[in-house]
Amino acid sequence: MDSALALSLLEWQLELGATEAIGDVPVNRYEVPAARPAPAPAPFPPPLPVAEDPLEAARALAESAGSLADLEEALGRYEHCELKKGARNLVFADGNPAARVMIIGEAPGRDEDIQGKPFVGRAGQLLDLMFAAIGMGRENPDAENTLYITNVLPWRPPQNRDPAPEEIAMMLPFLHRHVALADPDILVLMGNHSCQALLGRRGITRLRGTWTEALGKPALPMFHPAYLLRNPLAKREAWADLLTLQARLRAP
């Protein structure tokens, strides 16, 4: 094959969205597998394996976690979510678990998948700047001004596609347990998927800036920083929401 043709085939793959090599070694899908010897017949029909219900398994694992470290480990053992197979890392949380404010985003993107931490790409940099403007940050040592950050999904969806409803449903028991164990005073719901998961409602333009309740805690929906990168004019509303949050934190 000449190099011009090889290059155009690569470009075509990029256009289809195959932007990353997942394995270190190429797989030749045209190779005919060597014929395997037929297995010896079993003396009796083997018992059918009992398929584990993904939601039940998620609930049982999440409930069994007595600490945040247990919960991270339990997520690592959960095998029912297909996203895990395509992800490089589990993205559990970042910041200070003792924080009064817990931010819940959507799902890891490319940078988060590589680093294993939420909100470390461009949207994450904007998120850090937004909260720094009200004196808060994930690295701050004091519980008053620090943040604890997680996502609805702990694994990156391929090509950053939207989370599927069944993926959210599967991960919800873990998120509920995560909030219960971290026990923040306030939840900040970043964007539509976070609102869908915890409020059962979408429509961030209407929801943002109005206090509501999620998992028994005061919750403030806000525009997702990725949306603000695409719509810089909406930063004005995001600033108003940050001031709303600050006022609530300062209220006696």
Smallest gap, in angstroms, from Cβ of residue 242 to ligand URA?
17
Q: How far is the CB of 108 from ligand URA (least distance, A)?
A: 5
**Distance of closest approach, residue 185 Cβ to ligand URA, in angstroms:** 22
The answer to whether 78 contacts ligand URA (rule: CB under 6 A) is: no
Q: Which residue is nearest to ligand URA (CB)?
A: 105
The bridge status of strand 217-222 relative to strand 186-190 is parallel
**Nearer CB in complex with ligand URA: 57/125:** 125
**Of these, 105, 154, 157, 221, which contacts ligand URA (CB under 6 A)?**
105
With respect to ligand URA, which residue has the nearer C-beta, 66 or 165?
Answer: 165
Query: Segment 169-228, which members bind ligand URA (CB under 6 A)?
Result: 190, 226
Question: Shortest Cβ distance from residue 191 to ligand URA (Å)?
Answer: 6
Short-list 228, 143, 227, 224, CA closest to 186: 143
| Residue 157 is a binding residue for ligand URA (CB under 6 A) | no
Of the two residues 7 and 229, which places its CB atom closer to ligand URA in the complex? Answer: 229
Which of these segments, 2-10, 51-59, 99-107, 243-251, binds ligand URA (CB under 6 A)? 99-107
Question: Does the protein bind ligand URA through residue 245 (CB under 6 A)?
Answer: no
Residues that bind ligand URA (CB under 6 A): 105-109, 112, 118-119, 121, 123-124, 151, 190, 226
